[in-house]
Amino acid sequence: DGGITQSPKYLFRKEGQNVTLSCEQNLNHDAMYWYRQDPGQGLRLIYYSQIVNDFQKGDIAEGYSVSREKKESFPLTVTSAQKNPTAFYLCASSNQNYGYTFGSGTRLTVV
Amino acid sequence: SQELEQSPQSLIVQEGKNLTINCTSSKTLYGLYWYKQKYGEGLIFLMMLQKGGEEKSHEKITAKLDEKKQQSSLHITASQPSHAGIYLCGADYGSARQLTFGSGTQLTVLP
């Protein structure tokens, strides 16, 4: 079955540590996105990528980095520069003919 | 002010009652998406609207987009506990196919 896989489901980060969230899709979608969701709020765009080897900053990119070396993969690194990283992170992909498909999310907690 | 306003923020209804969630944009929409989310999980696609005046239905859920393409409503008829969750509208303004999300509506259906 085609879809998006995010891992891990839960992630704990120590102060000053970088962590990487995985996002893999087998839908053959060109575009991929990372969103952050805080309690009681909607989704805010962190980074997006329209094609391989190219990505753009979203509304809240500070403290995050991404790469897009393969069409199927769009990992997100939460760096130590992100002062408030505790949140629910959602990855999505899309093509021109259909809307977004979302992964099941990764909950990141700072300990 | 926000680009996309969703209301109400929360809604508690008795099982069997009808309800409506609204999503209002400050500018013309290229497309409007409705999603449902269970707490801590990914987004489930419900419907996509693109044409002014368009209306789509799936089971007991109907979504409409007004003629000016700036406002959408999601209507649930004869609500059931299975309808409970967070409903999110996502606006496509035609910019690299990013979606701008509303803040969500937390729906509780009392048995």
Distance CA A98, CA A67 (A): 24
**pLDDT at position A99 over 80:** no
Residue range B10-28, pLDDT digits in tens:
999 999 999 999 999 998 9
Of all residues in chain A, what percent are helix, strand and coil, respectively (each to 5)? 0, 55, 45
State the smallest CA–CA distance between residue B55 and chain A in angstroms: 17
Tell me: cis bond preceding A8? Omega within 30 of 0 counts: yes
Specify the pLDDT at position A103.
94
Which among B55, B110, B51, B45 has a CA at the least distance from the CA of B83?
A: B110
Could you tell me the CA-to-CA distances from B15 to B30, B54, B61, B63 in Å, in that order? 34, 28, 15, 20
- Enter the tokens of residue A109: 């907690």
Question: Strands, DSSP E only, in chain A?
Answer: 4-7, 10-13, 19-25, 31-37, 43-51, 54-57, 64-66, 76-78, 87-95, 98-102, 106-110
Angle CA B51–B93–B71, to nearest 5: 55
Q: What integer pLDDT is reported at residue B88 of this predicted model?
A: 95
Q: Give the pLDDT of residue B20.
A: 98
A83 pLDDT more than 90: no
Residue A22 has which token pair? 């995985």
Greatest Cα pair distance, chain B, in angstroms, is 43
Model confidence pLDDT, tens digit, residues A21-40: 999 999 999 999 999 999 87
Q: Residue A51's closest CA among A65, A70, A27?
A: A70
Say whether B38 sits in a helix, a strand or coil. coil
Q: Is the pLDDT of residue A98 over 80?
A: no
Nearest to B102 among A42, A94, A104 (CB): A42
Give CA angle at B54 (B59, B105), nearest 5°. 60
For residue A100, the model assigns a pLDDT of 85
Q: What is the pLDDT of residues A2-23, one digit of tens each?
A: 799 999 999 998 888 999 999 9
Nearest to B96 among A35, A50, A101 (CB): A50
Report how far residue A9's alpha carbon sits from residue A22's, in angstroms, rounded to the nearest whole number: 10
Map tokens 């992964």 to a residue.
Answer: A103
Q: Please tell me the predicted confidence (pLDDT) of residue A42.
A: 84
Among B5, B92, B97, B105, the residue to mutate for chain A (most A Cβ within 10 A): B97
The answer to whether residue A26 neighbours chain B at the CB level (below 8 Å) is no
Whole-number pLDDT of residue B2: 66
CB atoms within 10 A of CB B58: 10
Q: If you measure CA to CA, which chain B residue comes closest to A33?
A: B98
Condensed to tens digits (0 to 9), the pLDDT of residues A37-59 reads 998 778 999 999 999 999 999 99
Task: Tell me the average confidence (pLDDT) per consecutive run of 10 residues in chain B, 111 residues long.
Answer: 86 97 93 91 91 93 93 97 95 80 94 91
Q: Which amino acid is at B3?
A: E
Closest in A50, A56, A99 to B33, CB measured: A99
| pLDDT grade for A97, boundaries at 50, 70 and 90 | low
**Chain A residue numbers touching B96 (CB-CB < 8 A):** 31, 48, 50, 56
The Cα–Cα gap between A25 and B86 comes to 24
